[in-house]
Amino acid sequence: MLFYDQTYILVIIGFLLAAIASSGVQSAFNKYAKMKSIRHYTGKDAARKILDENGLYDIRIENINGNLTDHFDPSAGVIRLSDATYNSDSVSAIGVAAHEAGHAVQHAEGYAPIKIRNSMVPVVNICSTMAMPLFIIGLILGAVNLANVGIILFSAALIFQIVTLPVEFDASRRAIKILDQSAMLEEDELAGAKKVLRAAAMTYVAAVLASALQLLRLVLLNNSRRRD
């Protein structure tokens, strides 16, 4: 059966990796959300300071609902910070806000990996939507070539996740460097921000591993059907 065969263990492993990473970032964020910045910068203040120091005066900062829903939207020219980040003066909030500002700086500088990632978005959206339906239909009908198309499309989505890794790691590196040089955080506070951003980065690594395991499963299932 497609969803309950022995290869399903790969899906379970991927799910566990993602769950552990998600738990890790939530734990780190909650821990350092209790540590208040001595200089009382809020997430919004930190992001604004970084943007202004890089001449990005036109980038807006908005509040958005949710938990850890912070992101930079280059098409709208806005950094959206979640409720736990926007007006909070915690180490976690400042670290996350600085990370998103780091993405804005990447975009302004024409950082190659982020340009590649952004150019892939339209194609990847189609690949992500079509991959599993085509694979499942191909598997059910015994159409190996159709299933292979699904695998190829899924691979494209995985490549996108891999390209995202250096973008996220670089944004965190920029954030920590700027927070250190601008003295927005004390040494112990900076160490806390590093832990939060490191935990956040691990969620992207876990996502790549989970997708790679899923891809392996699709290949194994298709090869098994071909032998049958």
Q: What residues act catalytically?
A: 100
Token output for 67: 């938990």
| Cβ–Cβ under 8 Å, residues 34 and 61 | no
For residue 79, give the H/E element and its range.
strand 78-82
Q: State the pairing for strand pair 71-73/78-82.
A: antiparallel
From the list 171, 62, 165, the residue with the least C-alpha distance to 109 is 171
Angle, helix 91-109 to helix 8-33, in steps of 10 degrees: 110
Q: How many CB atoms lie within 10 A of CB 126?
A: 12
